[in-house]
Amino acid sequence: MALMRSKSNAIPEDGIVMDEMEATTYVWELVTNWETTSDTWALRYGPVVLGSLNAVSGIIINQHFRRKLKLGNYGYFSSVIPVSILPGMLTALFHRHLHHFRTNSLKCLFQFASRYCTYRVPALVEGPKVVFQFLRKITRPLTASLTALTALQFIASSAVTYFEMKNNFTMRKKMVEMENKLLAE
């Protein structure tokens, strides 16, 4: 059994035509129903691991800026959702399905600090140099954490990708063995 994109209009006699979404669903059902979990663990749980890591990173970054800008509970959910929850969920979703998503309705954290007068945030009209100095000032204490989070995400995504490819090759090898066994009978 092979799942492949047709290079021509010729479809084999016993071929089944699927659109991209149906093919993706078929492949994930195959992965989910695979007998031995050790052959597919990275494919099953890799997106969740990377999504969780993204969400935790977002929480750390969000908390730092909320503390620096003295926001307290002002606009808490409006900053947690786009900075922590959505990146975690969308990382897992995109890693698994790779669909396009756009949103223009997310509020900026600095906007809350200006609106609630909890911290003096320079306006963009003051010039890019002033805004950059402000960002550098409040981000400097987070530099070590950002470096560690970047390294951790790089290592985690590399490891998950490696094991996913290993799982892919294992599944393909076993499928070829099953197909050869069926053809031999």
Walk along the chain (185 residues) and give the pLDDT tens digit of each residue.
Answer: 555 555 666 676 767 777 777 777 787 888 888 888 898 898 889 989 999 999 999 999 999 999 998 988 888 888 888 888 988 888 888 877 653 333 333 445 576 666 667 777 787 788 889 888 988 888 898 889 989 999 999 999 899 989 989 998 998 898 888 888 888 87
Q: Please work out, in degrees rounded to the nearest 5, the angle formed at the alpha carbon of residue 39 by the alpha carbons of 34 and 40.
A: 65
Can you tell me the distance from the alpha carbon of 112 to that of 58, in angstroms, rounded to the nearest whole number?
A: 17
**What b-and-e string marks burial along 85-122, b requiring 16 or more CB atoms within 10 Å of the CB?**
ebbbeebbeebbeeeeeeeeeeeebbebbeeeeebebb
Residue 10 lies in a domain: no
Residue 7 lies in a domain: no
Can you tell me the distance from the alpha carbon of 23 to that of 13, in angstroms, rounded to the nearest whole number?
A: 18
Residue 107 lies in a domain: yes
Residue 83 lies in a domain: yes
Residue 125 lies in a domain: yes
- pTM summary value: 0.67
Number of domains in the chain: 1
Residue 113 lies in a domain: yes
Q: Count of alpha carbons within 13 Å of 163, Cβ hemisphere only?
A: 18
| Whole-number CA gyration radius for the chain | 23
Range of the domain at 79: 40-184
Residue 98 lies in a domain: yes
Residue 30 lies in a domain: no
